[in-house]
Structure 1
Amino acid sequence: MKQSTECVRIRMFRQGLGDSFLLSFPGDAGEVHVLIDFGVLLGTPDAKAKMQEVAGHIVSATNGKLDVMVATHEHWDHVSGFAQAQALLERDKLEVGESWVAWTEKPGEPLADELRGRRAAALNRIAAASRQIGASADPSAQKSAARLNAILEFWGGQGAAARATTRTAMDWVKSRTAPRPPRYLFPGETFTLPGAKRVRVYVLGPPHDSKWIRKSDPTKSASEVYQLAAASGADFSLFSAIDALEAGAMPGDQPFDEWFRISEKAARRNAFFRDRYDKGPAWRRIENDWLGPSGALALQLDSDTNNTSLVLAFELGDSGGVLLFPADAQVGNWMSWDEIEWSVDADGGAAARKVRAGQLLARTVFYKIGHHGSHNATLREKGLELMTDDGLVAMLPLDRPTASKMEWNMPFPSLYERLGERCRGRILDLELGMPAKPPGMSEADWARFQQRVDVQDDWIDYRIPL
């Protein structure tokens, strides 16, 4: 690849477990700045203060002019800052040229409207199930409710008074350039980056097909990823029962007639039932078992939302290298890229250039590791194994103590090991910072890598020749 004295700067902010990346490209008339996501996981200590600090850095680094603001999908760890630091991002402090979101946010788009409606309904029912389970004095029920609430935190929590949610954050991003509408991006689109003719943007996802959005986990053969995870479906049949309970009524289809039933509250007033309920083994308690599918439903909703991630690739004109930002895209999103062929107009009237996803992956020199290194957010044969450029470098936006607290296996061991091999150890880690020099890398190669990296307390910069 050709080399250039001009560089693209990729800045990963170190606010905690979440995505916030500021890209700065040499432009036609000065630097062009692109912000991709701006969030941190709900429950992060001092989250609002941290995101406000990041907002200050963004304003400073861009001199108050952000060319593009991108919100990839509706999860709190990607968009929370748009709610937590709005005052610091308003028009008098930060001018925004364009807002980019996925087609899934477009009003009047039939599939987008359907997905949003199903998501809202599922979120309401999951929150209701959490309330019903949490109302029990059973410790195991309390634990189940806590797990449901942890998943709900991806949307900023539900039902808390005066609390911003992912929806309010996304709506703010979409309204940020009003009266001009946001740019709703569809897979297969390609265009030059506004203000930087030498940078081309390719839109890979999310797929405009519900079958791919629903495919979050690998197949039984585990051929798509680095290890199979157990997949489970969501039982939407419990919706009517949850609705009935929320309305103060019992579900219509009961296994026993009313004469044979007794509520938990009434049972606790009766010595016979109380002794057996409180003193007996927990496995005998079945009153909350019917709500069990709500956990699978919550996990499936989380995965489906990840699969609506806006996926962008930036092609650098002089070098031909590609920067890949997949957000939290999972199996179906990645697999759908094979169906896309971009047609790029050539200069001077020459025939249009045809581009496929495999070609972009082969020229990828920077990879934002998908979904904090989870098992099903980086494909194997149709993903990482196609990233064959010797200069490949990756960034991992992960805080391990937070992931461990949430009982998430991040980064997934076999995936992380293979990433290290493909990147020759050049993984810039939000938590760990600069990696150690890997065995076998020459001093000259390591020195070149170090010269491109700047690790600070609040961010990590990596520079790539344009």
Structure 2
Amino acid sequence: MVMRSIKRAGIRAYNVGFGDCVLLWVDYDDAVRRAVLIDFGSTELPGDFPKDHMDRIAEDIRDVVLGRTANADGSITRGRLQMVVATHRHADHISGFGRAKAGSIIRDLNPRRVVQPWTEDPLLPTDAKAPLMDRQMVGTMGDMQLFAAGVTAASAKMNALQRFPDGVGDRLQFLGEKNISNREAVDCLQTMAADGRGRYVKYGDDLTDQRLLPDVTIKVLGPPTLAAAPSLARQAQINNEFWHLASNWSRAAQDGDATCDDLSPLFETATEAVPQAARWLTPRIDRAHADNMLSLLRTLDSSLNNTSVILQIRIGESLLVFPGDAQIENWSWVLFDADENTGNARLLHDLANTNIYKVGHHGSLNATPKTLWEKFIHRGAEDSTANRRLITLLSTLDGRHGSREDNTEVPRQALVRALKAESNLFSTELHKTPWWTDIEVSI
């Protein structure tokens, strides 16, 4: 096999409002561009963007990949979409795949690999060889998303009756819609992953393939399996009975029965195992409290975030990290818990040398743990002597998630200040014409 040399590489990050869509491309000396699409979703576009914006983005992705747009030096490079990565199943990361036009454009690019977390493996729920707890978690996540659908339906009705304090109904609607399963997007991903192209990954896996991306290495830092990460396993066990109850309610709410008179427990002592914040689910829904709804949805939101694929990509001399929406339970394995004999020491060494960091979870504080941030040796003041100052990339829509009053706003302003002070920050939110930002990857 003839080894190819990298000529240039870059990132195009699209302004999708509250969501993620990043195209990573590498040009080689054979005049072929090889590209990786990392996420393609949005739950809310900027107010002045057209409704077909995700279709426009798909068209631009196609043009960049296939070489229909000129490079900075005027040259034209034909290309291939070698890999699609769907970091996790949240709508703000995969909804674009579910749009008829946009999904077909990406699908027609015929990606050679489709990467998703191990929790999305379609064989896992029925594979007797899979650990029981893993199978239970996959089923539980389906129940969680039914619950989100129920909350969305019920909150719309209750909001109309002015049952919620100002703003609470909007937050419920936003979190509910974000967590509802997007069947069309999932189907598109499964179609692209057919014929052996799907990879369902966990911590420690290696996606490096010199046939697809010569001179590029791709390591998986997360998510860990439940057997590997005790904190995730405990969370799955604690919530197991509760989510069965929640799914009963959500199915009824989805069908329009918002009163949900029949919410009897699955077994007599079930209510004793249900967390205090969830006990409102057993009586009629019109006795629910809005703060409890929000608490449950945040638990669901966090659980799905922690299934995010975390990728560490080396291109030439540059190390890039793409963490999806991974939060501390996911990050903890590589940062604190993994056995050094597994090669984790090398992963940590490389992590410290990160040159480009895609900010996790649209800038929420708990998705960029302080331990992680302080490991980055290339962060520093603008006038520092740090070699190749850290580049950070943020995809967000300010003011849409959380609140400054309770210090949960996204993006978290304390984090944004640190990003600006100690890195070269690129934010998609600042780019409306054109609606993307380009970053050169040093090779």
Give the shorter-chain TM-score range: 0.7 to 0.9
Q: Which residue of 2 aligns with 1:311?
A: 310
2:206 to 183, 186, 190: 190
RMSD: 3.6
Q: Which residue of 1 aligns with 2:377?
A: 388
Q: Which residue of 1 aligns with 2:84?
A: 69
Q: Which residue of 1 aligns with 2:123?
A: 108
Partners in 2 of 1:406 and 1:150 — Cα distance? 17
Report the AA paired with residue 12 of structure 1: A
Partners in 1 of 2:332 and 2:105 — Cα distance? 39
| Residues 461/239 of structure 1: CA separation in 2 closer, same or farther (3 Å cut) | closer
Shift of 1:83: 1.2
Partners in 2 of 1:32 and 1:342 — Cα distance? 33
State the secondary structure of the residue aligned to 1:23. strand
1:413 aligns with 2:418: no
Report the AA paired with residue 153 of structure 1: E
Report the AA paired with residue 78 of structure 1: H
| Consecutive unaligned residues in structure 2, runs of 5 or more | 67-78, 125-129, 266-284, 379-385
Shift of 1:316: 2.8
Shift of 1:14: 1.7
Partners in 1 of 2:206 and 2:81 — Cα distance? 21
State the secondary structure of the residue aligned to 2:171. helix
Report the AA paired with residue 199 of structure 1: V
1:249 to 236, 255, 261: 261
Shift of 1:23: 0.6
Alignment of 1:82-93 (within 5 A): 82-84=97-99, 85-91=102-108
More deviation, 330-339/44-53: 44-53
Q: Which residue of 1 aligns with 2:269?
A: none
Partners in 2 of 1:237 and 1:96 — Cα distance? 37
| 1:332-358 deviation digits (Å, cap 9, x = unpaired) | 1111113446999xxxxxxxx875332
Q: Which residue of 1 aligns with 2:356?
A: 366
Report the AA paired with residue 43 of structure 2: L
Shift of 1:32: 1.6
Conserved? CA contact 2:144–2:247, under 8 Å: no
| Residues 417/132 of structure 1: CA separation in 2 closer, same or farther (3 Å cut) | closer
Shift of 1:199: 1.2
State the secondary structure of the residue aligned to 2:185. helix
Report the AA paired with residue 104 of structure 1: T
Partners in 2 of 1:87 and 1:106 — Cα distance? 22
State the secondary structure of the residue aligned to 1:418. helix
Conserved? CA contact 2:82–2:113, under 8 Å: yes
State the secondary structure of the residue aligned to 2:218. strand
Report the AA paired with residue 305 of structure 2: N
State the secondary structure of the residue aligned to 1:428. strand
Shift of 1:149: 2.2
Alignment of 1:25-424 (within 5 A): 25-27=26-28, 29=30, 30-42=32-44, 48-63=51-66, 65-84=80-99, 85-91=102-108, 94-109=109-124, 110=130, 111-132=133-154, 135-136=157-158, 138-141=161-164, 144-155=168-179, 157=180, 165-193=181-209, 194-209=211-226, 211-213=230-232, 236=243, 239=246, 242=249, 246=257, 249-252=261-264, 288-289=287-288, 293-317=292-316, 319=317, 321-338=318-335, 339-340=337-338, 355-381=345-371, 383-389=372-378, 390=386, 391=388, 392-400=390-398, 402-403=400-401, 409-423=409-423
TM-score of the two chains, using structure 1 as the length reference: 0.70
- Residues matched between the structures, number: 372
State the secondary structure of the residue aligned to 2:332. helix
State the secondary structure of the residue aligned to 2:177. helix
Q: Which has the larger radius of gyration?
A: 1
State the secondary structure of the residue aligned to 1:190. coil
Partners in 1 of 2:290 and 2:436 — Cα distance? 43
| 1:299-326 deviation digits (Å, cap 9, x = unpaired) | 1001110110011010234x2x310000
| Consecutive unaligned residues in structure 1, runs of 5 or more | 158-164, 217-231, 254-285, 345-352, 434-454
Partners in 2 of 1:106 and 1:333 — Cα distance? 18
Report the AA paired with residue 293 of structure 1: N
Report the AA paired with residue 162 of structure 2: P
More deviation, 11-20/165-174: 165-174
| Residues 411/233 of structure 1: CA separation in 2 closer, same or farther (3 Å cut) | farther
Shift of 1:242: 3.2
| 1:15-46 deviation digits (Å, cap 9, x = unpaired) | 32211111112447432200000111246655
| Residues 460/44 of structure 1: CA separation in 2 closer, same or farther (3 Å cut) | closer
State the secondary structure of the residue aligned to 1:77. helix
Partners in 2 of 1:240 and 1:23 — Cα distance? 38
Shift of 1:152: 1.5
Q: Which residue of 2 aligns with 1:219?
A: none
| Residues 363/113 of structure 1: CA separation in 2 closer, same or farther (3 Å cut) | same
Shift of 1:328: 0.5
Conserved? CA contact 1:71–1:170, under 8 Å: no
Q: Which residue of 1 aligns with 2:274?
A: none
Q: Which residue of 2 aligns with 1:458?
A: 435
| 1:110-135 deviation digits (Å, cap 9, x = unpaired) | 45532231122123234335545654
Partners in 2 of 1:337 and 1:47 — Cα distance? 41
| Residues 43/418 of structure 1: CA separation in 2 closer, same or farther (3 Å cut) | closer
Partners in 2 of 1:393 and 1:132 — Cα distance? 43
| 1:190-248 deviation digits (Å, cap 9, x = unpaired) | 242443332111100111126444799xxxxxxxxxxxxxxx99965863883788585
| 1:150-185 deviation digits (Å, cap 9, x = unpaired) | 211113x5xxxxxxx534313311321432341111
State the secondary structure of the residue aligned to 1:337. helix
Report the AA paired with residue 174 of structure 1: Q
